[in-house]
């Protein structure tokens, strides 16, 4: 039996977050340039989005470029930006066909202008789609996001629009870039690294973490289904004891 058949579709995670890692090593293993790994990684993204649509995952958020990734060699940064632009334009039609809405989070204004414009365009033309929301985290860092939220709340208190007492978890979460989505129930990181690398720190407070040695360009929907099967075997206690759960 394949992993897909083992999934209980009545208990799917609503939101899956993925740290897509290992493109460079995948390319290097084959004696190729790192960029070849990034290009191949796009095929994985396409397959995973279709896998999510296939089984009914409502939100997929993928870490495509971190704030820290600006520190890579300029040639790699430029190649990633060009790949991003060509991919979103090429995929617009398929996103619409699959009823997928494109979204982006991060410090988007730091991206090249062409990137900003094309992203806005594809987000607009897919904005009516309802099956799945694909969020690209671009120039994203969770510490940046949390600081921005804190600054906005401080400004609102200063302007006497809200009181200090009104700042609670919901009010804080409403200031984050993920305000419109539930927190991810499952976060996957490929390539054998066991760290979070500044991704969604607030939102993963109670997320189930799944690590696989598979490098991102080798990751396909069957691997996603395997992660979901693993997730469904876990007992999420949220601080309680087993006996209290049912």
- The binding site for ligand IPE (CB under 6 A) comprises 19-25, 63-66, 69, 80, 191, 193, 195, 197, 216
Q: Give the rounded distance of the alpha carbon of 243 from its chain centre.
A: 33
Please confirm, yes or no, whether 98 is among the known catalytic residues.
Answer: no
Q: Is 69 a catalytic residue?
A: yes
DSSP 8-state secondary structure symbol assigned to residue 204: T
Q: Can you tell me which of 13, 21, 61, 176 binds Mg ion, judged by CB under 5 A?
A: 21
> Could you tell me which of 197, 231, 239 has the C-alpha nearest to residue 57?
231
Report the partner that residue 20 touches, choosing among Mg ion, ligand IPE, none (CB closer than 5 to 8 A by kind). ligand IPE
Q: Does 223 bind Mg ion (CB under 5 A)?
A: no
Best CA proximity match to 190, nearest among 176, 160, 210: 210
Distance CA 228, CA 222 (A): 10
Distance CA 19, CA 195 (A): 10
Choices 18-26, 42-50, 109-117, 153-161; region in contact with Mg ion by CB under 5 A? 18-26
- How near is the Cβ of 121 to ligand IPE at its closest, in Å? 22
Q: Which of the ranges 14-22, 38-46, 96-104, 138-146 carries the binding residues for Mg ion, by CB under 5 A?
A: 14-22
Task: State the Cα–Cα distance between residues 67 and 56, nearest whole angstrom.
Answer: 31
What are the residue numbers of the active site? 21, 69
């Amino acid at each position: 039996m394949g992993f897909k058949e083992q999934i209980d579709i009545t208990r799917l995670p609503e939101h899956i977050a993925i740290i897509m890692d290992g493109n460079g090593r995948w390319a290097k293993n084959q004696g190729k340039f790192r960029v070849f790994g990034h290009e191949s990684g796009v095929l994985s993204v396409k397959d995973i989005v279709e896998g999510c649509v296939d089984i009914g995952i409502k939100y997929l958020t993928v870490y495509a470029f971190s704030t820290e990734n600006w520190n890579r060699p300029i040639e790699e940064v430029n190649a990633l930006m060009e790949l991003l632009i060509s991919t979103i334009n090429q995929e617009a039609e398929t996103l619409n066909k699959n009823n997928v809405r494109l979204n982006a989070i991060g410090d988007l204004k730091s991206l090249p202008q062409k990137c900003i414009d094309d992203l806005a365009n594809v987000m607009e033309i897919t904005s009516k789609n309802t099956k799945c929301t694909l969020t690209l985290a671009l120039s994203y860092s969770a510490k940046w996001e949390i600081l921005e939220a804190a600054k906005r709340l401080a400004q609102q208190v200063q302007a006497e629009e809200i009181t200090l007492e009104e700042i609670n978890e919901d009010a804080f979460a409403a200031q984050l870039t993920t305000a419109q989505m539930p927190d991810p129930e499952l976060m996957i990181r490929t390539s054998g690294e066991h760290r979070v690398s500044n991704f969604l720190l607030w939102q993963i407070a109670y997320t189930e973490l799944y690590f696989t040695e598979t490098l991102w360009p080798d990751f396909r929907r069957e691997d996603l289904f395997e992660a979901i099967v693993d997730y469904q075997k876990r007992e999420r206690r949220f601080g309680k004891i087993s006996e209290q759960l049912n």
